[in-house]
């Protein structure tokens, strides 16, 4: 039985690496779900054990903020913000700085993936209207979304998991994460501004779909409702004694009670695939832990001089695994060995900042590249790596130095 469980685990994480499995129409979510089904099918876990393996507070928090972000999208908030940014009468380097600051702030509250999904196509059209080269601004959008999301425990899925699993205080984490995040944003601006100096103007019109994109009309009332709920939740996370997931779920419920926005449209914007991925990976990882193989592997690594509970080793392992199997699966694997003091901050910063290295390093990168391609702007792995590699190395180095001084 143990051998079969290990084989299923390895196949699932091979799917995480490859983004699917050869000869099958499966993405990462499909592979993880199939693995969980297989484990239940061979009685590696009982249905009750599988349910117990799912960390429900994380799922509740993730779902709730997907609903809140859906409210903001349907209210036209992201389109309105992007258009207003693009209309600023400032020079490209200054516009880049403002874009990075606004994107980071939004990503810290409304999740980096959602922000990129909503802003990327509008940003491409706005750059074309101003005859600006869209590539540096799109790369800045992706980098800032990833870096900014590290500032809070609700900025991205892996931070939600870390915060809920380790019961990190919302305010304490924010104060600890803010200095390296701010420094990372400055470094990302410096890298992109330097690499694209003198090349801000669009050389030739990009081939592709140049038809005007239909913006989501700005609705001040719906946007105001979403912002009010988000602000109330932030205050609640800081001051209220109640669990964050309970507060978030209540906020989502309030937004679903709308006379204008149908719940079908709201729930249609929820990333159900990501929720299924989380649930499935919880089951797969729990099955492996039940075998004792994980504990044996950690002990073997420690005896060989690779102590994952050591901060330096954990930092390096998080960076490597995040770029091999993606940041959410990497965090799930490393959470059991994460030390109490400073471990959550280390895991959150390293896994999130590592996502800027390559296009496949984070969903936010993929969303931006795909949105650009649909609007006739090509960003291949070389173009992305030219910015992503130095941004990642510099921000990780800055974070490592900060963690060393802080802890």
Taking residues 19-43, report their average pLDDT.
91
Return d(Cα 391, Cα 147) in angstroms, integer: 10
Chain segment 260-291, per-residue pLDDT in tens: 889 999 999 888 988 998 899 999 989 988 88
pLDDT on residue 206: 47
- pLDDT tens string 170-193: 999 999 999 999 999 999 999 999
pLDDT of residue 213: 57
Q: With 60 as the cut, is the pLDDT of residue 361 above it?
A: yes
* pLDDT per position as a tens digit, 58-86: 899 989 999 999 999 899 999 999 989 88
By the 10 Å C-beta count (0-12 exposed, 13-18 middle, 19+ buried), 238 is classed as exposed
Average pLDDT of the residues in 323-351: 87
- pLDDT given for residue 269 in this prediction: 87
- Tens-place pLDDT, residues 198-208: 888 876 554 45
- In this predicted structure, the answer to whether residue 309 has a pLDDT above a threshold of 80 is no
Task: Please give the pLDDT value at position 204.
Answer: 57
pLDDT of residue 22: 87
Of 20-24, 231-235, 244-248, 249-253, least confident by mean pLDDT is: 20-24
CB < 8 Å & 24+ apart, contacts of 396-400: 396/319, 396/350, 396/353, 396/354, 398/180, 398/183, 398/184, 398/187, 399/180, 399/184, 399/349, 399/350, 399/353, 400/315
- pLDDT (0 to 100) of residue 203: 66
Query: Over the stretch 315-333, which tens digit does the pLDDT of each residue have?
Result: 999 998 888 777 888 888 8
- Percent of the chain whose pLDDT exceeds 90: 56
Nearest alpha carbon to residue 278 among 54, 65, 18, 57: 54
d(CA 335, CA 162): 7
pTM of the model: 0.85
């Amino acid at each position: 039985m143990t051998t079969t469980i290990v084989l299923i685990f390895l196949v699932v994480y091979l799917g995480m690496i490859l983004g699917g499995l050869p000869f099958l129409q499966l993405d990462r979510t499909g592979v993880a779900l199939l693995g969980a089904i297989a484990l239940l099918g061979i009685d590696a876990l009982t249905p009750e054990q599988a349910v117990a393996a799912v960390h429900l507070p994380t799922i509740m928090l993730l779902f709730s903020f997907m609903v809140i972000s859906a409210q903001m999208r349907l209210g036209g908030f992201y389109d309105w913000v992007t258009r207003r940014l693009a209309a600023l009468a400032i020079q490209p380097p200054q516009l880049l700085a403002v874009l990075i600051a606004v994107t980071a702030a939004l990503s810290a509250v409304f999740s980096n993936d959602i922000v990129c999904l909503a802003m990327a196509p509008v940003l491409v059209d706005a750059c074309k209207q101003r005859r600006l080269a869209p590539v540096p601004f799109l790369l800045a959008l992706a980098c800032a979304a990833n870096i900014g999301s590290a500032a809070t425990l609700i900025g991205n899925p892996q931070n939600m998991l870390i915060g809920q699993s380790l019961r990190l205080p919302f305010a304490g984490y924010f104060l600890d994460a803010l200095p390296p995040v701010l420094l990372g944003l400055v470094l990302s601006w410096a890298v992109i501004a330097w690499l694209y100096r003198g090349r801000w103007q669009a050389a030739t019109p990009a081939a592709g779909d140049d038809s005007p994109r239909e913006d989501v009309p700005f609705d001040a009332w719906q946007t105001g409702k979403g912002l009010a709920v988000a602000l109330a939740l932030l205050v609640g996370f800081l001051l209220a004694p109640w669990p964050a997931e309970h507060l978030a779920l209540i906020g989502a419920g309030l937004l679903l009670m709308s006379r204008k926005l149908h719940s079908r449209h709201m729930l249609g914007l929820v990333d159900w695939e990501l929720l299924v991925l989380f649930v499935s990976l919880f089951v797969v990882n729990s099955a492996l832990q039940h075998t004792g193989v994980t504990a044996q592997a950690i002990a073997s690594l420690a005896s060989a001089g690779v102590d994952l509970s050591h901060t330096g080793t954990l930092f390096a392992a998080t960076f490597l695994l995040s770029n091999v199997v993606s940041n959410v699966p990497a965090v799930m694997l490393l959470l059991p060995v994460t030390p109490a003091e400073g471990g959550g901050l280390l895991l959150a910063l390293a896994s999130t900042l590592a996502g800027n290295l390559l296009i496949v390093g984070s969903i936010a990168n993929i969303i931006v590249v795909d949105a650009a391609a649909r609007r006739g702007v090509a960003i291949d792995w070389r173009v992305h790596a030219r910015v992503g590699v130095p941004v990642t190395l510099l921000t990780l180095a800055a974070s490592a130095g900060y963690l060393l001084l802080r802890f």
